[in-house]
Amino acid sequence: MYTIVWGEPLSINYILSMVFIFAALIFFIFFLKNKSEKFIKIFLFPFSLLGIGAIIWNLTTCVNVYRNLPLNFCSYTAILCPILVLMNKRNILGNYLLSGSIGALVALVLRESDCYELSIFDGDFIFYYFPHMFEFIIPQVFIFTKKVEIKPFYIPFALVITIILYTISYNIGHYVNQKYDLNTNYFFGEGPNNPVLQVCWNILPVKYWYMFLCFPLFLIINIIYSIPYFIKNGKERRTKKEALQLKEQN
């Protein structure tokens, strides 16, 4: 029976799947831009639950539950996304989830090879593609609709939390691997699974520690997203300085 598969990188289906993500992001931003807080929460909350749905799917359909514990970067993002949607003050969590959002996009762009032949009607595809898609979209929507302001002084907080979660995931995975003779790779601490991580591994081929070479990438992303804050802060300072000068002249 003919089926439509996700496809290899740069295949038509793969490219269309990436275009759909960014088209959806643009739609969500413009659709929700001037909507009330209540409407945004009601509208986004069902989408924010897709990641938790994926966790449940993975735990209930897998052969060995220890291989699919929610200990990956995207799993933490999935758990926190519904909380972000329901919160009134989102800046702290929103700044942390910026990295998780980019991580979800990377998981879609640089998929593992066993995803290539997934049928787009298969549960494994649905509970991989759409949860990661909305783990990327939801934090971005709050950022671009100015419900979350990315600020540079949140960067150390986001980095420390990420390192703590990474360390917890790695040590649990390492324990599970030794106790049950498995080959789990939570948070990719055991080794790389995509070209970006492979570069870091080539530089420092040591389990756990090689991932620290990736963290500066997230710092750079946070700094780029902080540019509007720097611009806004610079304008406010100039305005205050000009007002002070006018006051002194008078």
For 48-79, what is each residue's pLDDT tens digit? 999 999 999 999 998 788 888 999 999 999 99
Quote the crossing angle between the two packed helices 227-249 and 215-225, to the nearest 10°. 40
Closest CA to 102 of 128, 135, 64: 135
Summary mean pLDDT of the chain: 92
Ordered alpha helix ranges (H), the chain: 12-32, 37-48, 50-61, 73-86, 91-109, 123-144, 155-180, 195-203, 215-225, 227-249
Give the pair of three-digit tokens for residue 145: 């609709």
Half-sphere exposure of 120 (CA within 13 A, CB side): 10
Q: Residue 237, Cβ neighbours under 10 Å: how many? A: 10
**Cβ-based neighbours of 87, under 8 Å, separated by 6 or more:** 93
pLDDT value at residue 1:
54
Determine contact, residues 43/101, Cβ cutoff 8 Å: no
* Per-residue pLDDT at 155 exceeds 70: yes
DSSP state of 72: S
Q: Residue 220, Cβ neighbours under 10 Å: how many? A: 10
pLDDT digits (tens, 9 = 90+) for 82-101: 999 999 999 999 999 999 99
Residue type, 72: N
* Per-residue pLDDT at 2 exceeds 70: no
* Per-residue pLDDT at 150 exceeds 80: yes
